Structure 1
Amino acid sequence: MTQSALQARTGTATSAGVSIHYTIEGAAGAPVLVMSNSLGTTLQMWDPQMPALLGHFQVLRYDTRGHGRSSVPAEPFGMAELGADVLAVMDHAGVGRAQFCGLSMGGMTGMWLACHHADRFGRFVLANTAALIGPASVWDNRIATVRRDGMVAIVPGVLERWFTQSYRASRAQAFEPVRDMLLRCDPAGYAANCAAVRDADLRGLLPQIEAKVLVIAGEQDAATTPAQGLEVARAVPGAEYLSVDAAHLSNWELPQAFGEAVGRFLGV
């Protein structure tokens, strides 16, 4: 694919009064892949995968509500609203049907969409995620800390969970963009999304999913453990499971392996 053949545009969709910023890049007519970011990051979380994916897809990325250039809602919300945001972005971008890849909170959003709006999607990649991420007390403490002290108070701990010790020691500069995304995240938006994850229990939805699903887990992921990923894969009929030697942000720590796994599963 030549660079001149690729097109890129940005837009802002409205979902129940919330503004959702997105970009769509790729060759006109190519199949669309929606990518949903983790808690605390923006659509730039997927930058490591873009060079490879743009050879096969139009990639539709968006800032989850409360993150990046999307607005911070005034009212509480849950997975239904996060899923509706994806549909609003697709509608605004003129996308009728797409593949889906989400990590962590983005993976939970994918579970909800796979159950309730399977007609809009083909296959789902659910990475470093779980159907229930708890306990609630952890989320309550994090929400209170961020509201009181801002994002700077939690970023060091988040980065320790998101990347393996060896990666942090040898590639300190490589994850600076992730640190920057976290520090720039609106504390109110972050707290609201923490509450959405805290209150989500999607375990009952998993057996109802009929779409083809790949679950990717990080072997050193303490945030959403391999055991939790395996639980998702076993609960979704016919789901595939893949573990990689990474922590929570596996797409960033192992960009090539992650991208190749996604590409294989989506048939490219």
Structure 2
Amino acid sequence: MNDLNFVTAGDGARIAYRIDGDAGMPVLVLSNSIGTTLRMWDLQINDLSKHFRVLRYDTRGHGESSVPVGAYSLDRLGRDVIELLDALGIERAHFLGLSLGGFIGQWLAVHAPERIDRLILSNTSSYLGPARQFDERIAAVLQAPDMSETAEMFLANWFPAHMLATNEGIVEEFRAMLLATDRQGLAGLYAAVRDADLRRTIALISRPTLVIAGQHDTVTALSHSELIAATVLGSKLLVLPAVHLSNVEYPAEFMQAVLGFLR
């Protein structure tokens, strides 16, 4: 299955997904960061699909998934994944989430541990307060004439200066994703992050967990990953010399860590 398909969530929203890899292999779910689509994992699919049946999806509000009006919740984002697994008849899967996807992975491992086998949390946090900064971002993105300024802000936070200066092709791909993002969807997901605080509850996570951090991450700082690793009993921490998109900036090292942990 190489094209987009859709499932309908419990509240009527349509969630777009794609599957790569043979049916007999273990399932690995990939969850994207805010401001991106399932295409953010393109560099990893060739290698991952040799070992896993890779299920990636567009988080609601992004890509080809529905864009409901109003604030979203982490609870709803987590249930989208559970309902996607249910619709596809998947009882249990590995889960890899980056940034917002890592928030979703933490929620799933706390609230639906029976659905998760191994968990990878990349460049993420269990809390990104204060709420005021997200209220300001929501107002700004909804009032802006377009996504241009917001896109450049994200890119500056995601990539090292040398990649931005040379305007590498991969940067253009992510710029295109950002410019195509629905502002209501971005605002809705900002609200989900604003209201999320998993700092205490992730102590309940019992699944084998790998935390991947970016040494130079200014969005979800290294200290946030260190806190997660210190709170989740038995988890492992890997620090890459990356900014925020470790899978893009250090794809080989990222893939080695992911495959080493999952296999």
TM-score, normalized by length of structure 2? 0.96
1:8, 1:26 within 8 Å by CA — same for their partners in 2?
Answer: no
- The 2-side partners of 1:182 and 1:142 are apart by 15
Aligned residues: 261
CA contact (8 A) 1:25 1:60 kept: yes
* SS at 1:68 equivalent: coil
Segments ≥4 residues shifted beyond 3 Å: 7-10
- Is structure 2 residue 184 aligned with structure 1 residue 204? no
Secondary structure in 2 aligned to 1:174?
A: helix
1:49-88 alignment to 2 at 5 Å? 49-88=44-83
- Counterpart Cα distance in 1 of 2:3 and 2:52: 14
Q: In the alignment, is residue 12 of structure 1 matched against residue 6 of structure 2?
A: yes
Q: Secondary structure at the match of 1:8?
A: coil
2:244 match: 248
Q: Partner residue of 2:177?
A: 181
Using the alignment, how far apart are the partners of 1:251 and 1:195 within structure 2? 25
- 8 Å CA contact 1:36–1:62 kept in 2: the answer is yes
Question: Is 1:142 aligned with 2:137?
Answer: yes
Q: Which amino acid aligns with 1:154?
A: T
Q: Does the residue aligned with 1:190 lie in a helix, a strand or coil?
A: helix
Aligned ranges 1:38-49 → 2 under 5 Å: 38-49=33-44
What is the rounded CA distance, in whole Å, between the counterparts of 2:202 and 2:17 in structure 1?
A: 28
Q: Is the CA contact 2:74–2:104 (under 8 Å) kept in the aligned structure 1? A: yes
Alignment of 1:111-150 (within 5 A): 111-149=106-144, 150=146
> What are the Cα deviations for residues 60-88 of structure 1, in whole angstroms up to 9, with x where unaligned?
00000000110011343211100000111
Match of 1:4 in 2: none
Q: 2:262 pairs with 254, 258, 266, which one?
A: 266
Gaps of 5+ in 2: none
Let me know the Cα RMSD of the aligned residues. Answer: 1.2
Counterparts of 1:23 and 1:92 in 2: how far apart (Å)? 13
Aligned residues of 2:242 and 2:250 also touching (Cα < 8 A) = yes
Cα deviations across residues 48-70 of structure 1 (Å, max 9, x unaligned)? 11111011001000000000110
Shift of 1:147: 0.3
TM value normalised by structure 1: 0.94
Unaligned runs of 5+ in 1: 1-6
1:9 deviates by 5.0
Q: Would you say the 8 A contact 1:37–1:104 is kept in 2?
A: yes
Q: 2:158 aligns with which of 162, 165, 185?
A: 162
AA aligned opposite 1:229: S
Which residue identity is paired with 2:250?
A: L
1:101 match: 96
Deviation string 1:20-72 (CA, Å, 9 cap, x unpaired) is 00011101201110000000100001001111101100100000000011001
